[in-house]
């Protein structure tokens, strides 16, 4: 008992000293602590997954809010605490965006520093506003933790929707590195997972000043973490439907360097590389779905020789879902380009494109130019790859039927948005995702993108097949378990039976309304405790 008492006393004093140090910081020291805390939070994401740093990060942020509340011009001080936290968080979390500017370095490398610094600076406005609002609420103890968790995730939701949205590295995404800790997203989605995560990891700050119950916040954190794991283990152990082994997926990863992928002189070679990976016999009664990555074969529907090669080399009962670029002309004769998935089937008289899906959630400045006239005047019209102002957006999420199955296609960026994988009234059998993360090199970006695909599978309760040009190609079941993968920067394919869809999840029925109900509950309980 004497030893435990000494350890307990030392730990209690260390916590108090740390809290006093953080709260007492002023000026540049306060900003530096906030910046470092943001970096810690980012390191909890892929590929590091240093989850204990998430506790350090957000507990420190709550203590910094305490210190800002007693500063002169408290709201201003709190805003800068939040902004520097967000700047560090996003600087480390999305640095990989800059790599895309070096693919065509002679044209765009000069823009990389502006992207590396500018995007975190902009996203820091959301975290700064969230922290300023938390400081103005002036809660203490558990009240301030509840209010902080609610306000923080509401601003995450805003970040996921304002100006087309960028819900990258939501706090709950730290738990998506494996299926075990991400299972509860089936109830309340990625935003709800963030709310629960923030409350749990910030819990130690709730009682850090209470002498008799100083460790109760740490106990709540430990119990919350154990509950997340326990729920995950229980859900993963539940029985599930039996799939049809006759429906087979062949997911292709051609591993084509980005410079060669966008060079039209390599079109034939790139096509043949993907076709080679798509070949292979199947049992007579099998139904094959082949996935090619984003822009795997641009303008494929205009290439009769390529369609003839598909007819010659693919098994007869095959549906090919090929990332493609398609073009058409409107009634005014204006040529438009679409980032698409072409659905190619055997018509009985050769292979034909029977349907297509056009990407509807385009990447600003990467796939289309907002304020095109202004961008053209300042010489930035060349940023987009097709047409004058880039791609044209499709009509929205779709469910497509082909080969006796229904699937919902997604292209790259679209998979980062919770609850937007398919039309609400048209649940498919599975999710088909194609992407090209080669723009971003061997960085954290492709790995973080993979984690978001896992969350989409769990939210929907549907299997997800992911074909990525340079990786990571993967197959998830409806519980987000990784059944097969081709590692980053390897050439290969996945061949596996299509997992069965699970019963409709709570999140797929009610969407983010459950998250809003949880958030309102936290706010009401927080205000009650603040009284």
DSSP helix/strand/coil, 292: strand
DSSP helix/strand/coil, 65: helix
- Which residue shows structure tokens 């103890």? 141
- Which residue shows structure tokens 């790995």? 447
Q: How far is CA 107 from the centre of its chain?
A: 29
Quick one: tokens of 189? 């989605």
Q: Are 259 and 285 in contact (CB under 8 A)?
A: no
C-alpha distances (whole Å) from 469 to each of 10, 399, 472 are: 53, 23, 8
Query: Distance between CA 137 and CA 190 in Å, rounded?
Result: 26
Q: Kindly report the number of other CB atoms within 10 A of residue 231's CB atom.
A: 16
Helix (H) or strand (E) holding 37: helix 27-42
For residue 134, indicate whether it is catalytic: no
C-alpha distances (whole Å) from 320 to each of 166, 181, 252, 293, 356 are: 30, 34, 11, 11, 11
CA-closest candidate to residue 240, choices 506, 501, 507, 464: 501
Q: Catalytic: which of 156, 294, 367, 414?
A: 294
Q: Catalytic: which of 261, 359, 479, 493?
A: 359
Query: Distance between CA 391 and CA 323 in Å, rounded?
Result: 14
For residue 156, indicate whether it is catalytic: no
CA-closest candidate to residue 500, choices 528, 473, 481: 481
SS3 for 79-136, per residue? Answer: HHHHHHHHHHHHHHHCHHHHHHHHCCHHHHHHHHHHHHHHHHHHHHHHHHHHHHHHHH
Query: Distance between CA 22 and CA 37 in Å, rounded?
Result: 11
For residue 359, indicate whether it is catalytic: yes
CA-closest candidate to residue 58, choices 125, 152, 169: 152
- DSSP code string of 160-222: TTGGG---TT-GGGGGGGSHHHHTTHHHHHHHHHHHHHHHHHHGGGGGTT-STTTTHHHHHHH
CA-closest candidate to residue 58, choices 177, 185, 196, 249: 196
Q: Catalytic: which of 40, 134, 412, 522?
A: 412
Q: Are 157 and 170 in contact (CB under 8 A)?
A: no
Task: Give the residue numbers annotated as catalytic, written as ranges.
Answer: 294, 359, 412
């Amino acid at each position: 008992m004497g030893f435990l008492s000494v350890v307990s006393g030392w730990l209690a004093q260390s916590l108090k000293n740390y809290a006093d140090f953080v709260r007492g910081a002023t000026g540049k020291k306060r900003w530096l602590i906030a910046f470092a805390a943001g970096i810690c939070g980012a390191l909890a994401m892929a590929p590091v997954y240093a989850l204990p740093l998430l506790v350090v990060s957000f507990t420190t942020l709550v203590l910094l809010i305490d210190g800002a509340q007693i500063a002169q011009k408290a709201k201003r001080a709190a805003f800068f605490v939040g902004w520097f936290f967000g700047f560090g968080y996003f600087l480390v979390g999305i640095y990989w965006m800059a790599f895309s500017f070096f693919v065509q370095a002679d044209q765009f490398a000069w823009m990389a520093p502006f992207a590396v610094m500018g995007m975190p600076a902009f996203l820091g406005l959301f975290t700064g506003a969230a922290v300023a609002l938390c400081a103005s609420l002036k809660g203490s103890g558990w009240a301030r933790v509840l209010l902080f968790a609610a306000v923080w995730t509401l601003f995450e939701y805003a970040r996921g929707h304002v100006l087309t949205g960028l819900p990258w590295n939501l706090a709950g995404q730290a738990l998506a590195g494996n299926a075990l800790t991400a299972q509860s997203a089936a109830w309340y989605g990625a935003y709800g997972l963030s709310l629960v995560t923030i409350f749990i990891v910030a819990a130690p700050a709730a009682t850090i000043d209470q002498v008799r119950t100083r460790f109760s916040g740490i106990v709540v954190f430990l119990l919350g973490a154990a509950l997340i794991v326990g729920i995950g283990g229980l859900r993963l152990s539940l029985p599930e439907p039996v799939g049809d082994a006759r429906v087979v997926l062949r997911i292709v990863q051609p591993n084509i360097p980005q410079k060669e992928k966008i060079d039209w002189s390599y079109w034939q070679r790139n096509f043949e590389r993907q076709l080679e990976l798509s070949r292979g016999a199947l049992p007579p009664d099998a139904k094959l779905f082949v996935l090619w990555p984003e822009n795997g074969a641009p303008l494929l529907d205009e290439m009769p020789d390529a369609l003839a090669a598909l007819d010659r080399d693919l098994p007869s009962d095959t549906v090919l879902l090929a990332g493609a670029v398609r073009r058409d002309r409107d009634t005014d004769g204006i040529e438009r380009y679409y980032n698409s998935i072409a659905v190619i089937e055997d018509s009985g008289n050769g292979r034909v494109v029977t349907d297509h899906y056009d990407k509807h959630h385009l990447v600003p400045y990467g796939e289309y130019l907002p304020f095109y006239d202004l961008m053209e005047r300042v010489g930035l019209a060349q940023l987009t790859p097709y047409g004058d102002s880039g791609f044209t957006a499709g009509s929205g999420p779709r469910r497509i039927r082909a080969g006796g199955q229904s699937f919902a296609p997604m292209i790259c960026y679209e998979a980062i948005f919770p609850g937007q994988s398919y039309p609400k009234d048209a649940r498919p059998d599975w999710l088909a995702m194609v992407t090209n993360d080669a723009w971003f090199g061997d960085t954290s970006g492709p790995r973080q993108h993979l984690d978001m695909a896992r969350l989409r599978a769990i939210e929907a309760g549907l299997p997800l097949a992911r074909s990525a040009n340079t990786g990571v190609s993967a197959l998830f079941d409806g519980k987000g378990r990784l059944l097969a993968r081709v590692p980053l920067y390897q050439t290969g394919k996945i061949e596996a039976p299509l997992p069965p869809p699970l019963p409709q999840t709570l999140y797929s029925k009610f969407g983010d309304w459950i998250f809003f109900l949880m958030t309102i509950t936290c706010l009401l309980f927080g205000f009650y405790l603040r009284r």
